[in-house]
Amino acid sequence: MTSNKRMLRSLGALALVLMMLLSMMACGQKPEPDTSKPVQSGDVSTDLSGSEDESDNSTVGGDDTTTGSDVSDDTTTGSDVSGDTTGTPGSTGAAGSTTSGTKKPTGNVRPSGTMAPGSTTKSPFATTTSTTKKTTTTTGTKTTVNSGSENDVLSKVPESLSKQKVKVLIWWPVGEGDKRHAEKFTDETGISVVHESISADMYQTRLSAMIMGNNAPSCAAIISEWYPQPITRGLMQPIENTGWDFTEKIYATNLMEQFAYKGKYYGIALKGSTMTTFNVLMFNKDLLKQRGVTKDPYQLWKEGNWNWDTCLEIAQKCTDYAKGLSGISVHWQTYWMLSTGQDFVLNSKDGLVNNVTNPVILDAWTHAWHMINTYKVVDTTFTDKTPFLAGTAAMFATGSYLMQAEHEGYIPQAMKADWGVAPFPSPKGMDTVAGCEGTVWGFPSRIKDDKLQAAAWYIRYWLDDTQYGDPEFYSKDECWEVMNWMWNQKVQSFNSMGVFGYGGEYTAAGLQYEILGDGASISSLKSNLDSWYSVAEANIDKIESEMIG
């Protein structure tokens, strides 16, 4: 790239930071630190010969936890653990506004859904399924499934594991739901569970330190913006080390494949889990009615007519800038690309594939550009959910976490008007693709034998939506319905954000700003995308060269 382009990109990045600060100040929120230039740490060996320190006093349900950035215990000194995070790239709204790039589940994470696993005869990953008839009932605001005792994971945990301890490294405050869930697991199996909470931007640093200090957690996560660094740094081991079978239908193998590396899986996802943040479209029912919309997005989705075209039609009916109304506010313009089943970088059995110049990606970004600049239906204040909450944006494309019922500032608590939700639309004539920022759970290096088995059983139980009896997670039936449906579609995770941010100055947010930022023209769209091909290629080469094992 020319020096002029690098200078423009640097100025663009500075503009993003300034816009983020102004936006957060306007919303009364503290901006997240800029972590777009991560500091790499030393590699962690995947040699499983190390022993784990048993000196910690784990307590059931996560009462004995560490929070915040305390990493003074279980760590080793020196540069080996000096900061192995990929950072948390900011995200951009239309024309490059910045919002938080990390979408965190809450401490009361409860997998949702109606997907019941088949019973297993050998292990929770066995292929044998039950023919037990499932009966579905709706209670209050959650659809639950009664699949019979054959699906009771807890009854299958071997008694030989009853004295084991499971330590789960999380990035949200430990909630009552976490504790209750762990307590039930311990009561039934004798395996104690403790949650350790660390901030998202320190997660990989903490994980590396714990492994180096022979006090690795039993379970850890990989989310989109971290991939593939936990793998290249040797922080996570292949899940095949458990010896379990992952072909049961309850597993979201489509998502797991996107977090694999050259055919090896490094994390587990179960259908129905709320750990993954899906791209959804929320809408103001009252405002749509006032603007003469006869069928809302949910109704169009139910009849099989919800797509980019019908979304645009509604947005055009609801846009009236003279009255301060816009048709749609979009958290990340990358949603359009993901809804086609494409990402800038894809995963294959042979490794990472540079997909930047795929013509489908060009079509998606072209559509986003026209939504903003030609049809002028996109809110251009770039203040995330504020226009939707204020009733000035008819629709809001965002992450599914905002539908959670218990949290102030989330849609159910903060929205005064009646609202609904539908999946984010895909192009007309294409099956809907569930775009997301994915999360998988796996096993850190040096966890083995019975410790590994106990951890695998807990993940199998923890992520299984049929095991929950907690209070309602969302406030509307249709939220559960949409989430459950998306888990059974093709899933496309935005993992390229981790590849672009891998050990360098580039971020997916920077790319988005260059494509749709101030002054970006439709004529320069293809050349802007093409210019990032070499960036993706260089990072893929770097990842290949640094992969341990």
Q: Answer for the pair 287, 157: CB distance below 8 angstroms, yes or no.
A: no
16 within a domain of the structure (yes/no): no
**Reported pTM:** 0.77
374 within a domain of the structure (yes/no): yes
pLDDT confidence of residue 69? 37
Which segments of 171-247 are extended strands (E)? Answer: 192-197, 220-223, 236-237
Alpha carbon distance 259, 493 (integer Å): 9
pLDDT confidence of residue 95? 32
Closest of 97, 169, 125, 151 to residue 439, by C-alpha: 169
pLDDT confidence of residue 151? 52
Structural domain harbouring 410: 277-435
Which segments of 15-149 are extended strands (E)? Answer: 91-92, 98-99, 135-139, 142-146
pLDDT confidence of residue 461? 93
pLDDT confidence of residue 17? 39
371 within a domain of the structure (yes/no): yes
Quickly count: other Cβ atoms within 10 Å of residue 473's Cβ: 24
Whether the upstream peptide bond of residue 228 has omega within 30° of 0, thus cis, is yes
Which segments of 140-256 are extended strands (E)? Answer: 142-146, 165-170, 192-197, 220-223, 236-237
381-413 pLDDT per residue, tens = 767 899 999 999 999 999 999 998 878 889 988
In sequence order, what are the residues at sequence separation of 6 or more whose Cβ sits closer than 8 angstroms to the Cβ of residue 459?
A: 219, 268, 441
Alpha carbon distance 287, 390 (integer Å): 11
Domain count, the chain: 1
Main-chain dihedrals φ then ψ at residue 202, nearest 5 degrees: -105, 5
Alpha carbon distance 447, 275 (integer Å): 23
151 within a domain of the structure (yes/no): no
pLDDT confidence of residue 468? 60
Pairing verdict, β 433-437 and 345-348? unpaired
C-alpha of 33 from chain center: 19
Taking the chain (549 residues) in runs of 10, the rounded mean pLDDT of each run is 44 43 35 29 38 40 41 35 33 33 33 28 33 29 34 88 98 88 94 96 96 96 96 96 90 96 95 93 98 98 97 98 95 95 95 96 97 94 86 96 86 92 97 96 97 97 74 82 94 96 82 83 92 93 85
pLDDT confidence of residue 519? 79
314 within a domain of the structure (yes/no): yes
- CATH number of residue 310's parent domain: 3.40.190.10
pLDDT confidence of residue 380? 82
380 within a domain of the structure (yes/no): yes
In sequence order, what are the beta bridge partners of 404?
A: 474
